[in-house]
């Protein structure tokens, strides 16, 4: 399992408005090959948005990182951070990670 983290500047919408505005995008992401789950993140006080994605394999995570970074850049988003992490399964299981 591979964790992908996106973090980028964002001015909103937040909360329920975000859920409504990005519903189509969420449905598109849900169909992404190898995606196990995504947690949407928002920090309105810091004007940052992003997400945590769990993928089955590194190549799937890398392919999605390229796709989503290009999508965000196409919308004029700059300062995108997209990091890929290996997961330490034994320790994550101890701390009840949803793997």
Q: Does domain 2-94 have CATH number 3.30.70.100?
A: yes
Q: Where exactly are the structural domains of the chain?
A: 2-94
**What is the C-alpha separation between 39 and 17, in angstroms, rounded?**
17
23 sits in which H/E element:
helix 23-30
CB 34 within 8 A of CB 87: no
99 pLDDT higher than 90: no
Q: Structure pTM? A: 0.90
**What is the C-alpha separation between 50 and 46, in angstroms, rounded?**
12
Banded model confidence at residue 98, pLDDT cuts 50, 70, 90: confident
Interval 8-29: pLDDT, tens: 999 999 999 999 999 999 999 9
Interval 27-56: pLDDT, tens: 999 999 999 999 999 999 999 999 999 999
């Amino acid at each position: 399992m591979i964790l992908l983290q996106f973090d980028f500047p964002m001015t909103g919408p937040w909360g329920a408005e975000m859920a409504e505005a990005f519903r189509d995008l969420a449905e598109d992401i849900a169909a992404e090959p190898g995606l196990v789950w995504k947690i949407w993140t928002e920090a309105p006080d810091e004007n940052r948005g992003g997400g945590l994605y769990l993928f089955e394999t590194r190549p799937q995570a890398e392919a999605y990182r390229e796709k989503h970074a290009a999508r965000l850049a196409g919308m004029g988003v700059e300062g995108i951070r997209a990091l890929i992490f290996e997961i330490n399964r034994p320790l994550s299981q101890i701390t009840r990670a949803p793997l």
